[in-house]
Amino acid sequence: MADVPAARSTLRVLTFLAAQAGPVPAAAVAQHLGLPRSTVYHLLSVLVDEGFVTRLPEEHRYGLGTAALSLGSAYARQAPLARLARPVVARLVETTGESAHLAVLHGREVLYLVEQRAPHRPSLVTDVDVRLPSHLTASGRAVLALLPAAQVRALFPSAAALADRTGIGPRTLRDLRQVLRDTRHRGHATEDGEVTTGLASVAHAALDHTGHPVAGVALTFWSDDVDDARRDELAVAAGRAAAEISRRLGAR
């Protein structure tokens, strides 16, 4: 496959701008990406002309433009993540006999994009387009555990941001940090009765081509019916499904 340096550099500039909290100087773009300043200024000029970048002349800074927003809206309309994940989630349900779903982070909540119910399994509060507090769900914890600590702090600046459903979720920021540390150490996320009394879940994160966690893949089951060995089996199955979705998203 032929490499196109200008195209690759352009995408790197856009990716860098998208990752920033606000507009940044061109010099910061050049320094972070290791590109000549003249190249960066040329790329930014073209991107400004095409509407993908906005220049703030008084501040001498650059940020994403409205054309980038249009791309994001088009992505949401086409729902490629849900399309890619749906058959994988369906196979996960077939092989385990438990209900499964895929959810993405939406602020400090998770938004359910794919929901597959297994026959004769318990009804769930989750469904497509339903939102739940991310720190209480296994799918949300799988994603949060792989985010930079600064991003998690921005999402949960104080204990007041920690919503409660059944009275047994994390109550303090220290509790949340411990939950996420346990998740990283274990290699997968869990929750037991924190979303719905009597139900438990295990989950893994699916990654995009940059290694960023974009979604959580979870299995949900009756807590009393599943022993530790079976939970480990379900966690492995969810991990395989998450890895397959990651491959479909271009993750290495």
The domain that holds 238 is classified in CATH as 3.30.450.40
* Residues 29, 146 within the same domain: no
The residue among 37, 72, 107 that closes a domain is 72
Say what the pLDDT of residue 247 is.
93
> What's the average model confidence in pLDDT over 120-129?
74
The residue among 24, 41, 72 that closes a domain is 72
Q: What is the number of structural domains in the chain?
A: 2
**Residue 4 CB coordination number (10 Å):** 10
* Residues 58, 104 within the same domain: no
* Residues 171, 98 within the same domain: yes
* More confident position, 179 or 20: 179
**60 touches 25 (CB < 8 A):** yes
- Digit-coded pLDDT (tens) for 167-206: 999 999 999 999 999 999 999 999 999 999 999 999 999 9
pLDDT band for position 1 (cuts 50, 70, 90): very low
Say what the pLDDT of residue 74 is.
63
* Residues 161, 199 within the same domain: yes
Q: Give the domain extent around 48.
A: 5-72
Say what the pLDDT of residue 2 is.
54
Q: How many angstroms separate the CA atoms of 29 and 12, rounded?
A: 9
**pLDDT above 80 for 125:** no
* Residues 88, 178 within the same domain: yes
At residue 174, the 3 state secondary structure works out as helix
pLDDT band for position 30 (cuts 50, 70, 90): very high
* Residues 142, 177 within the same domain: yes
CA distances from 8 to 3, 14, 197 (A): 8, 10, 49
Q: Which helix (H) or strand (E) holds 222?
A: strand 213-222
Of 91-105, 113-127, 157-171, 174-188, give the lowest mean pLDDT range: 113-127
Q: pTM of this prediction?
A: 0.73
* Residues 116, 220 within the same domain: yes
* Residues 44, 89 within the same domain: no
Say what the pLDDT of residue 128 is.
66
* Residues 50, 136 within the same domain: no
**pLDDT above 80 for 234:** yes
> What's the average model confidence in pLDDT over 21-35?
92
Say what the pLDDT of residue 120 is.
85
State the burial class of residue 1 (Cβ atoms within 10 Å of its Cβ: 0-12, 13-18, 19+). Answer: exposed
**pLDDT above 80 for 124:** no
Of 30-34, 127-131, 152-156, give the lowest mean pLDDT range: 127-131
* Residues 99, 205 within the same domain: yes
Q: Mean pLDDT of all residues in the chain?
A: 90
- In this structure, what CATH number is given to the domain that contains residue 55? 1.10.10.10
* Residues 100, 211 within the same domain: yes
> What's the average model confidence in pLDDT over 206-228?
93
- Digit-coded pLDDT (tens) for 66-87: 787 767 666 655 568 888 999 9
* Residues 172, 102 within the same domain: yes
Say what the pLDDT of residue 200 is.
96
pLDDT band for position 126 (cuts 50, 70, 90): low
The residue among 42, 72, 102 that closes a domain is 72
